[in-house]
Structure formats: C-alpha cells, structure tokens
Structure 1
C-alpha cells in the first residue's frame, strides 16, 4: 500500500513538473511585448518583488514552521535563482534569443556533472544518455544557423550552470523543508537582489501602461509563484535527472504557444526536436526497459 501511494505521488509530481514547464513556456509570449517598454532588469525586480509579496501573504499561517535551516536554504536557492535570471538577461543583450534559449537549455547536459559534484553520486548511464538526447532535441528546436561564439553566449552559459545548480539544491532541500516557505524565501531573496541591481544599474522606469502592469502581474503569479511551487513539490518526489529533463520542456511549450498565440509556423526541426525530447524523458524514466527490470533498477536507488 505504501509503495502504491509513493507511485501515485510520483505521477502527480511528474504532472506538476510538466505543468511548471508549461507555465514557464507561456512567459515567452508575454515577455516579447513587455520588454519593449520595461527594461529587463527592472522587469525582473518587479516580477520577483510582486511574487515575493504574494508568497509571503500565502505563507503567513506557515511562519511558525520557519527555522534557521529553512531560512538559510531558501536564501541560497534565491541567490542562485536570481543570478540564473540575471546572466540570462545580460547575455540576451549580446546574442540571439534562439541561441540564448539553447545554451541555457544545455543545463540538461550539465546537470549530471553538477549533481555528481554536489551530491557525490555518479550519474547513471541512462541519465547521461537522456541528457545528451534532450540537448540534441533542443538544438533542433532552437538553433537555425550557428554563427560562432560571442560574449553573450558565454554569459548565457553561466545562466545554464546556475539553472543546473538550482535544480540540484532544490531537489535536496525540497525533501526536507516546507515547499511553500522555501518558495517564499527564494522568490523574496530574488526580489530584494533584483531591486538592488535595478537601482544600481538602470534608470528609474517611465510610467507603465495598464497592459504592462497586467503582464508583470501575469509573470509574477503564473510564471513565478505557481511554477516554482509546482517544481518544488515535484522535485520532492522525482529524481533530479528526471526533473531536469521535464523542466526543459519549457522550450517545447514556449514554441507551441508561440505557434498558437503569435501565429508562428512550426517546421520539421521543431517536430524532430520535440520527439527527441520526449524520447529523453522515456530514457531517463527507463520506460524502454521491461517492467521487472525497471522495478529492479528503481529498487537499487
């Protein structure tokens, strides 16, 4: 009975991670218009501050569970999270959107190494194979032509490293802490860092339209509060390698929504890439193995 309950939680957790990837993917359509009127660094500050305020209000009944350990872990997650977004924002100013998305998506390939360094556990061959298949799939989706490496690409690579670190530490902390409190602390930390960075690096933004305010509210709630709650919950019951592959579907969902909402047309590369990424999920979950062998492998973890 306990095993059945654990299996049910894993299925729900996998669904939560896919839903988190979907909501993050929806941000691409919203960001495209908002960034024309609001600078990227101020947009990050507004997004995380509003999300942090919302999470604080939600977590008031849970504050009694707060401990020094939870506080430290939430702040660590928030620092890594903010630098992930900061490197992404700065890098995007010097490279193309598709190259930036691909390079940041390469965190899937970096993830097994980061996991090994932080956890001291050598990744399984299936995890490495899944990461490689996933990155090839991302390449098909996001890269048209490759025109060399510039400083924007290297800065974007730092974002990918931060992304991988964030997934690993979230996987560790989520199993031992209250997910709501962790999410409040990491988003709040990101908001404070974002505000400081915006004040130092950018002039004060001009008056914003109602559309811009609505977009920021959408980004704060549906692209920050909701997906990070889902991802923290999902990583509580799903192994790190699987979480990394599922969350990379953000690019797939972003492309699909661009097709549906912005009228962009899919190509053969998108179809091939999406199929390869789905294969990477099947590989990391060992769906291709016979059921008895799959159960045996899971039991060895």
Structure 2
C-alpha cells in the first residue's frame, strides 16, 4: 500500500470520528448516556471479534490486563463526551477533544520527566487562549459540558500513553478489540447502576447507534490499525488533528450549529496550537539530520 493511499484511509477515519459527535447528539435523544456507551462499544466489539475471530484462539494474560485498563479509560472518555454533549454543542466537543495532542507531551513531562521545550509552551498558550475564546461566556464562566469534554481529552491522552506502554508487551490487535469489549461492559454496568437502560425508540436513534458502532468504532479502529503501518506518525497525527474541523462541518450541515465570531477565532487558535504540537517531531527530525550532515562535512574537511 502506498503512503498516499494510507493517508487517505486515515483521512476517512478522521471524517467518521468527526461525525461521531453528531451521531452521539442524535442517539442521546432517546437513549441514556451510559446505555449509549454500552451499545456503541458492545456492537463494535462483536463486529471486530467476528472479523478477527481467528486471532482470539489464545489470549495472553498481559493483553487481557491492559485491555481491561484501556477499556475503562475508553469508557470514561466516551461517557464524559456524551455527558458533555447534553450541555454543549458538537462543534465545541470536537475542538476540545483535539486538546489531547497538547496534553500528551504535558503528561509525558509530569510522568516521565521528559524535557520541556519552547514549542510545547507556545502551542499550549495558543491552545489555551483558543479555549478561552471558544468556551468562556460574557460572565467569564465555562459551560459544564465544555469542562467534561476537556477532561475527556485529558483522559484520552492517558489512554494513548498507556496504549504505547501496552504495545511493548501485548498483542496490539487483540488489545484494540478487547478494549472495545471492556468499554461496552463498563457501559452496561454503569447503565444498570445509574440509569434505566432502554433501547433506541426511533429509527433516527437506531441509525445513530449503528453508525457510531459499526462505522465510527469498528470500521475506524480496523482501518486505522491497517493504514498506520504504511504512513508516518507525523502524517497520522496531523490528519487526526482535522477531526474537530469535520465535527464542526457535520454539525453545521445537519444541525445548523453556528459559532459566534470569537468562537471561530478560538477554534482556529486551538487548531494552530495542535498543529504546532504535532509538527515538532518533523522539525526536530530535520534539525537532527542537518546536524549529522554538518558534523560529517566537518569530519571530511579535517
């Protein structure tokens, strides 16, 4: 598979994830929050397990353990977004979710004592300014739904870091599918404890749930795992950062969601911060290559 084709597949996945905020909004019209999580990831797990059933003839305990941890984090992220969508817009949720890119290096500094660099400082300040413009109202208070979506972005950063750790010891395909099953199970458990579980009662809600499960989750995870083998992490990260753009586009086309002028300025600043955080890998790589070439030329001249 060529890199361009892989990038297009990643772009398609990004579009489906951008649309997920719209379908979560629609699903919430007749389905409770935790029940929606249970249906989304439960159906996605069944689809993925059916496609890759041969891979589940033997599962190592380490893979099962990490699948449980990642499943809980995935459940928490999805539940927070869904709860947040009750009081915020799909556009806001999409842009706030992109903050994961900013949170990952910050958590790496806190947890693993990684180096603090100027690009991270600048990208964080730009993104935080954007958040203020996007979410603060005239009374300088933030909507509770926006806070929940920002917290979801933080937890998803944890999810990505733990996934990176787990990939060193566990079967990654089994891990990706098992986390869907555990996330769905946690959804069932919380729905039974805190809600009165019910199935979608309208055709629109059923369509939303099935698209969330089969297209946004099962299809997305399967295609992502295939395509990422044939493209670079930098390309993947930059394409994924377009998710909030698609979220805002779908929200405008199908729900007539519009942001005020300061909201669009804030959204642009958030995306700018995300891009600054993403491109540092590529720039660093170029600098290192340049340094090596200079050192080589110096050695030859001597």
With normalisation by structure 2, the TM-score equals: 0.75
Query: Equivalent of 2:264, from 263, 270, 294?
Result: 270
Aligned match of 2:68 = 75
Deviation at 1:144, TM superposition (A): 6.9
Task: Specify whether residues 278 and 228 from structure 1 end up closer, same or farther in structure 2 by C-alpha distance, changes over 3 A only.
Answer: farther
1:62 aligns with 2:81: no
Which protein is bigger by CA-based radius of gyration? 2
Query: Equivalent of 2:191, from 198, 203, 211?
Result: 198
Task: Specify whether residues 206 and 243 from structure 1 end up closer, same or farther in structure 2 by C-alpha distance, changes over 3 A only.
Answer: closer
* 1:166-221 Cα deviation digits (max 9, x unpaired): 12222333466443212111100001000011111111326623332222111001
* 1:48-76 Cα deviation digits (max 9, x unpaired): 11111111112211124632222222221
Aligned match of 1:86 = 79
Task: Specify whether residues 245 and 138 from structure 1 end up closer, same or farther in structure 2 by C-alpha distance, changes over 3 A only.
Answer: farther
Query: Equivalent of 1:281, from 271, 275, 282?
Result: 275
Which sections of structure 2, spanning at least 5 residues, go unmatched?
294-302
Query: Equivalent residues in 2 for 1:202-221 (5 A)?
Result: 202-205=195-198, 208-221=201-214
Determine if contact 2:31/2:200 at 8 Å carries over to the other structure: no
1:52 aligns with 2:39: no
Aligned match of 1:160 = 153
Matched residues in 1 for 2:242 and 2:105: separation? 18
Which sections of structure 1, spanning at least 5 residues, go unmatched?
none
1:36 aligns with 2:29: yes
Task: Specify whether residues 12 and 195 from structure 1 end up closer, same or farther in structure 2 by C-alpha distance, changes over 3 A only.
Answer: same
Deviation at 1:37, TM superposition (A): 1.4
Matched residues in 1 for 2:199 and 2:12: separation? 34
1:256 aligns with 2:233: no
Deviation at 1:26, TM superposition (A): 0.7
Matched residues in 1 for 2:193 and 2:166: separation? 32
Determine if contact 2:127/2:269 at 8 Å carries over to the other structure: no
* 1:221-256 Cα deviation digits (max 9, x unpaired): 1111222345556777755x9866653432211111
- Cα root mean square deviation, aligned: 3.9
With normalisation by structure 1, the TM-score equals: 0.75
Matched residues in 2 for 1:234 and 1:139: separation? 35
Aligned length: 289
* 1:80-113 Cα deviation digits (max 9, x unpaired): 11111223333444x4336655554433332222
Task: Specify whether residues 225 and 135 from structure 1 end up closer, same or farther in structure 2 by C-alpha distance, changes over 3 A only.
Answer: farther
Matched residues in 2 for 1:298 and 1:177: separation? 35
1:108 aligns with 2:108: no
Aligned match of 1:223 = 216
Query: Equivalent of 1:293, from 268, 287, 296?
Result: 287
Matched residues in 1 for 2:200 and 2:278: separation? 48
Determine if contact 2:135/2:143 at 8 Å carries over to the other structure: no
Determine if contact 1:17/1:234 at 8 Å carries over to the other structure: yes
